Amino acid sequence: MRNDHKKVLRGKLCGIGIGPGDPKLLTLRAKEALEEAEVIFTPKGSDDGISVARKIIEQVIEGKKTYVELTFPMTKDKAVLKRYWKKAARRIAGEIKKGKQAAFVTLGDPFIYSTYIYLLRMIRQDYPRIKVETIPGISAFNAAASRAGFSLLEGKEKMAVLPVSETLEGIEEALEDFDTVVLMKVGAKLQKVIRLLKQKGLAKNAVLVSRAGHPNEKIIRNIASIKDKELGYLSVILVRSLPAKQ
């Protein structure tokens, strides 16, 4: 560790937001940074799972790359997660200490509900000499709004972005205080959210966009009719808390 503080590291880490799924929505800088990278780290939820991010970038970058898939389990146990972030930080730092250019890719934007945030914090703590560049990406909610033709903010309006929890914490308050509410991480809580929006008379003001930018993208305006539970996964719900103007 003491050596880390003295050494000038040639390699660096690029945290790259790759957008929602359509490879054409990668920024020019993201593409360039992926091409510069020698080792590309991609996150996934379990050892035998597949990295969605890897599938997206493989469509746009040419040339041979070393891919390393890092597992981050879907748990809320902070102690377990910390172990995985530490292990991943060590693995990435190992490549950078060898002088390699490393990239860590993340869906959407790296600073919106992303593992990258925790990983970066760990790298800054354990390997402060590592140079880092973070490249923004188009977030899922931006892509969803464009695909659905849903105006997010006009004039003096305010918007809230929330993750959906089991208890739907904060959603009712957000619907009262903000003009637009963006719900992410819908998952298995989809029917609960639909029930709440129906109760509030807001279901008709909402649109669900599932897998925005992916080949199996779905845009559903009549969310009250949704029966398919799978639609909650990789989905955002956009809600106007007042009747839409257009």
Counting contacts by CB under 6 A, is residue 211 touching ligand SAM? Answer: yes
Cα 224 from Cα 217, distance rounded (Å): 19
Cα distance between the two ends of the chain = 58
Judged by CB, which is closer to ligand SAM: 109, or 179? 109
Counting contacts by CB under 6 A, is residue 139 touching ligand SAM? Answer: yes
Counting contacts by CB under 6 A, is residue 20 touching ligand SAM? Answer: yes
- Restricting to residues 145-204, which ones interact with ligand SAM according to CB under 6 A? 184-186
Cα angle value 119/120/122 (rounded, 5°)? 65
Identified binder of ligand SAM from the candidate list 25, 175, 209, 223, rule CB under 6 A: 209
Two structure tokens written together for 88: 């991943």
Counting contacts by CB under 6 A, is residue 95 touching ligand SAM? Answer: no
Identified binder of ligand SAM from the candidate list 93, 212, 220, 231, rule CB under 6 A: 212
DSSP-based three-state secondary structure for 177: helix
Judged by CB, which is closer to ligand SAM: 127, or 174? 174
Identified binder of ligand SAM from the candidate list 234, 238, 240, 241, rule CB under 6 A: 234
Sign of the dihedral through C-alpha 20, 28, 115, 85: positive
Among 66-74, 82-90, 195-203, 229-237, which window interacts with ligand SAM (CB under 6 A)?
Answer: 229-237
Nearest approach, Cβ of residue 41 and ligand SAM (Å): 15
Cα 106 from Cα 54, distance rounded (Å): 9
C-alpha distances in Å from residue 33, one per residue of 20, 113, 120, 173, 189:
18, 22, 17, 40, 36
Counting contacts by CB under 6 A, is residue 220 touching ligand SAM? Answer: no
Give me the residues that bind ligand SAM (CB under 6 A), please. Answer: 20-21, 106-109, 112-114, 139-140, 144, 184-186, 209, 211-214, 234-236
